[in-house]
Structure 1
Amino acid sequence: MKKYLLVVVLSFSTLVGYAQFTSGVTGLLHMPNAEMQRDGTFILGGNYLNQRNVPFIRNSWYKYNTYNYFMNITFFERVEIAYICTLNKGIPNSSYWPEQTWGKYTNQDRHFAARLQVVKEGEWWQYMPSVVVGVSDPTTGEGSTDYSNMAVDGDGNGYFNRWYIALTKHINTQAGEFGIHAAYLYNKRTDYPLNGPAFGLNFRPAFHKELNVIAEYDAKTINIGATYSLWSDHFNLLFELQQCKYISAGLVYKVNLLGGNTWKKWRR
């Protein structure tokens, strides 16, 4: 009952959004971008995830929605490192899972992600977009050393594996700020291959910059959503509709360990 109440609260709150925190790192909804947090920003967060958000569920015959939690930190102004855990249920009729654990959250997939900003927006040239390269889940594990029975495939990559380069450019207008984003994603997974472009657009209205409306094509699906910033950007609420219909939602807490405000400079 408690977990369903949490989902309702998060979903309601976000309708009133900061992003790609469905994946534990800065970005749009699913696709990466080239925005960065301010130097010294530390983040804790968690999400309710539709099954289509999670590769090891999406490609399994046993379907269920789940949750993740994560923390990350930005340092040297250009580097972001994240650690993400995704909850995993026991699978019915599997010799790997004892019968009493079937259908219960008994395990978790853990992975790291990293981003490096190679070029800042406006650096060298006033029209220069920011450029970020990154990786998610170069290796993975599920809390066991018995790898012989694990559902690891895709040439040994992690479930959430991807490599990418992303570009972002912002345009200020009287109506508000538009962010234009493009990326190229790649992995060698056989169950969820990525090898193509992604495009996204976000808009922060001038009358209420805490609101961030997002639309994207993440190289696989078209998604829409929003994020909302509260208390000088210390709390961020996330709401998304994957394929414009499947709900995921999350909550993020941010603090700058160097004593600065996380709101004014994060985008550059």
Structure 2
Amino acid sequence: MWKWVSILFIIGVLLPPKGSSQSLTGVTGLLTIPTAEMPADKQISLGMSYWNKKYIKYRNSQYDLMALYVNLGYLPFLEISLRVSRRLDAEKYIPGKTRGQGIGERMPSIRLRLLSEHRYRPAIVAGAHDFISLGESSRREDTLTDGDVTNFNALYLVGSKHFNLGITSSSELGLHLGYGSDWMDAHFHQFVGMFGGISLTILKPFDLILEYDAEHVNVGMRLLLWRHFQVTSGWQNIDTFVGGFALRMRL
């Protein structure tokens, strides 16, 4: 395993960097919320994130989660990703005795840029997360609907606008505002109602994050190392740690 991690890291260092940043959910965003920032064409991110069970509705908040994801920018206006979330300390699978957890909870996502950011206009992106049934169910009944096995569903529009602060050559303020719906059938939904956040960069490659995910106020920070390795950490509801890292490359 570490052999392949080393190979991916070396490839990432040799390839040119990308500009957008990954949220812990696996799509482009702040700490947990999506934004209207998008990866460039043929840019890929491989990442891992840790989620504390305290604010996870999935499995009745019984388990912390470790999420693995791959994210791809295809053309300048399309972003697709797949995330697999595995329960930590879940029961071991024993045939005929316990269910275990299989591969884990799979969450596909797709995002489409409707408007690019200009001087007097924000970028606008439409997104859908966990919109088809690929994952394991949080229920034990034999008969399940698609909604029973979609545990991280989100359907939203979000806008982003950036302002040069002029403090340093890289200082920038990002404002992000979105609205999500629970229109799609799902076991659990995310980002329902208004959500938004602020990203502040004084000196690259360090960002500060403040966001509201439609339920909690979260704070975080993000550091980009060697132009390709992103480390993100923060606190949901300002009291519970979450974090992760991502390797960003060009194909």
TM-score, normalised with respect to structure 1:
0.74
Q: Contact 1:55 / 1:160 at 8 angstroms: preserved in 2?
A: no
Query: For residue 193 of structure 2, what is the aligned residue in structure 1?
Result: 196
Distance 1:199 1:142, change over 3 A: closer
What does the per-residue CA deviation read over 1:44-92, in whole Å, with 9 as the maximum and x for residues that have no partner? 00011111453313x35xx221201010110111111001000036877
SS in structure 2 opposite 1:27? coil
SS in structure 1 opposite 2:58? helix
Give the residue type in structure 1 aligned to 2:58: F
Query: For residue 237 of structure 1, what is the aligned residue in structure 2?
Result: 231
Query: For residue 105 of structure 2, what is the aligned residue in structure 1?
Result: 109
Name structure 1 gaps, 5 residues minimum: 1-17, 258-268
Structure 1: distance between partners of 2:232 and 2:132: 27
Q: Which 4+ stretches in 1 moved above 4 angstroms?
A: 89-92, 152-157, 188-194
Q: Contact 2:124 / 2:157 at 8 angstroms: preserved in 1?
A: yes
Q: Contact 2:230 / 2:247 at 8 angstroms: preserved in 1?
A: yes
Pairs aligned (count): 224
Structure 1: distance between partners of 2:41 and 2:105: 28
Distance 1:19 1:64, change over 3 A: farther
% identity of equivalent residues: 26
Structure 1: distance between partners of 2:50 and 2:189: 21
Structure 2: distance between partners of 1:53 and 1:220: 10
Give the residue type in structure 2 aligned to 1:231: W
Is 1:29 the counterpart of 2:22 in the alignment?
no
Give the residue type in structure 2 aligned to 1:136: H
SS in structure 2 opposite 1:239? strand
Query: For residue 246 of structure 1, what is the aligned residue in structure 2?
Result: 240
The structural deviation recorded for 1:21 is 2.8
Query: For residue 87 of structure 1, what is the aligned residue in structure 2?
Result: 86
TM-score, normalised with respect to structure 2:
0.79
Q: Contact 1:225 / 1:239 at 8 angstroms: preserved in 2?
A: yes
Structure 1: distance between partners of 2:156 and 2:179: 5
Query: For residue 6 of structure 2, what is the aligned residue in structure 1?
Result: none
Is 1:68 the counterpart of 2:67 in the alignment?
yes
The structural deviation recorded for 1:190 is 6.1
The structural deviation recorded for 1:111 is 1.7
* 1:100-249 → structure 2 map (5 Å cutoff): 106-122=102-118, 126-142=119-135, 148-149=141-142, 155-156=147-148, 158-175=150-167, 176-188=171-183, 189=186, 191-192=188-189, 195-205=192-202, 208-232=203-227, 234-249=228-243
Distance 1:111 1:30, change over 3 A: same
Query: For residue 263 of structure 1, what is the aligned residue in structure 2?
Result: none
